[in-house]
Chain A
Amino acid sequence: MPVVFYRYISYQQEVNQVVHERKVQSTNPRTRYATWYTPARYDDPIRAQKELALTSPPTHRLGPIPADEMPDFDIDLRPVAPAFGQPGGGVEARTRLPLWLFGLWDFANGRWEL
């Protein structure tokens, strides 16, 4: 079992949700907020695109998230299939549950310090 997980994000809407709500979850209600993760840390977004078989490089990486803090998966870890001219071969899993991040709220100024 992997030790940590990461989420790669390409929609500003979700980035804003993470920053302002400390909530990690797809913003797509049509999938019941199905959210994908991988145990792989990519420092190169091009490599993330290649191994996760995405249409474009992600703009953000979130993590590491310890595995024991992850919500339950409804699609367990599986190899990524080829798509969009990318070979895939990375590893992915999916959950429909949110993940809440640790934060430090500043009451006086009404904003997150951390």
Chain B
Amino acid sequence: MVNYEELDGILDTIEELFSSLAERYEHRLAQVSIERWRWDEPVITLTWVGSDDIRRNIHALIVHEGSYPYELLLEANAWEDRDLEEGKITVRNWRHDKVGRVQIPFQRSELQKTVNEAYSTVSSWSGQDLKEQTHLAPWTAGPQPPNGGRIG
């Protein structure tokens, strides 16, 4: 059974740190958003677009065993999507790194340090560092194929 209350309380603390970071660097960050519990996962995400137009995010995921949270995993991603062949194909170039682990319960200062390090790491990546490549499944407004948009 998931203890939503307890896990969400932990996410509250991380949100404060994310908000503070976004404020500190607001002149460099565009389209900033902070979201939590995407697809019911105990995670909070800070997303932004850098001045180089590369999208970046930092995720803090609570690792829990049943109702017992024991660790925070911080990871960061940077990515660019490019349309090719007149928009028929979209290619994503991206990079992902695990940037920190913090045991729960944690000292706020320790988490602050890890969040700052995550930001510094992911901000340092340029387009040349986005070495993973994935072709994205096409999706646009319009009728779907008869099999209901079946993908694999």
Residue contact B94 to A87, C-beta cutoff 8 Å: yes
Q: Are the CB atoms of A82 and B144 closer together than 8 Å?
A: no
**CA–CA, A11 to B90, complex, Å?**
32
CB closest chain-A residue, reference B78: A82
Q: Are A10 and B139 in contact (CB under 8 A)?
A: no
User: What residues on B are CB-neighbors of A1 within 8 Å?
Assistant: 141-142
Among listed B15-23, B40-48, B99-107, B112-120, interface-contacting one: B40-48
How many B residues, CB 8 Å from partner? 41
In the complex, are the beta carbons of A4 and B148 less than 8 A apart?
yes
- Contact (A41, B57) CB under 8 Å given A29-B4, A90-B137: no
A54–B41 contact, CB under 8 A?
yes
B residues less than 8 Å from A42 (CB atoms): 151-152
- Residues of chain B having any CB pair with chain A under 8 Å: 1-2, 4-5, 8, 36-41, 43, 45, 47, 55, 57, 59, 61, 75, 77, 79, 81, 90, 92, 94, 96, 132, 134, 136-137, 139, 141-144, 147-152
